[in-house]
Amino acid sequence: MKADSAVERQTWLGRSSTTMNPDLKDPLPNATYTVDGKFHYTTDEWGSTVRLQVDRMDVVDSDATYESKAVQRRIGHYGDGLGGGFEGGHLTGKRFGDPPEDINVVPVKESVNGDHPCGFYELEQKIADNPGNYRNIDIRIEYDGPPANAGSVTRLGDVNPVDRVPTRWRVLSQDANGVARTPEIFGNR
């Protein structure tokens, strides 16, 4: 299904909290969303994002971005049940015009998300520095199994917060010549 994120919606409605797309804040299970015409998200049977595909990520003008600190804080707190130290991290960064809604934000250990050696931010910086050399980006997100309340889950909003914390994700991509890179793996527990 096609959907527009707050990034696109703000151009029609102006910058306000009402621009957030409720369908992307609580995505359907077993669905594939094409967001803003370029980000392709796949959800599992509980509505958790398990895959993000994008042909290329280019840095966009700051007017073409939208960030929700409230979403990031809320999702970061989902890791509190695991001892804390998590923050809401974007699967693709704000500088690439990514959606600020839940479909694109997961609880990430601060040591993985921040500007640390071998951290996810380091990869994001490499892509920003040379976007033409990162093609067919495919991020696969893994969880620790079904949610504890799997029998009563019909949408992402029903999943226990701690069960929304990924265990790891793998980033596959190709260089400018179409040669596949060695997957980059980020542990999150």
- Span 63-117, pLDDT tens digits: 888 889 999 999 999 999 999 999 999 999 899 999 999 999 999 999 999 888 8
Q: Which residue has the higher pLDDT, 13 or 6?
A: 6
Cα–Cα dist 129/73, whole Å = 28
Query: What's the confidence (pLDDT) of residue 115?
Result: 85
- The predicted model scores a pTM of 0.94
Residue 152 has pLDDT above 60, yes or no: yes
Query: What's the confidence (pLDDT) of residue 116?
Result: 83
> CA–CA distance from 63 to each of 8, 11, 68, 94, 113 (Å)?
11, 9, 14, 11, 24
Tokens encoding 120: 């996810």
SS (H, E, C) 32-69: EEEECCCEEEEECCCCCEEEEEEEECCCCCHHHCCCCH
- Please give the helix or strand (H or E) that residue 87 lies within, else none: strand 86-90
Average pLDDT, integer, range 30-36: 97
Cα–Cα dist 77/86, whole Å = 7
Burial call 88-124: b when 16+ CB within 10 Å, e when fewer = bbbbbbbbbbbbbbbbbbbbbbeebbeeeeebbeebb
164 within 8 A of 78, measured Cβ to Cβ: yes
Residue 57 has pLDDT above 70, yes or no: yes
pLDDT band at residue 14 under the 50/70/90 scheme: low
Cα–Cα dist 67/74, whole Å = 13
Task: Give all domains of the chain, ordered by start, each with its CATH number.
Answer: 31-187 (3.40.570.10)
Average pLDDT, integer, range 15-40: 90
Q: CA 17, 23, 26 angle in degrees (round to 5)?
A: 90
**Neighbour count for residue 84 (Cβ, 10 Å):** 11
pLDDT band at residue 16 under the 50/70/90 scheme: low
Amino acid identity, residue 121? Y
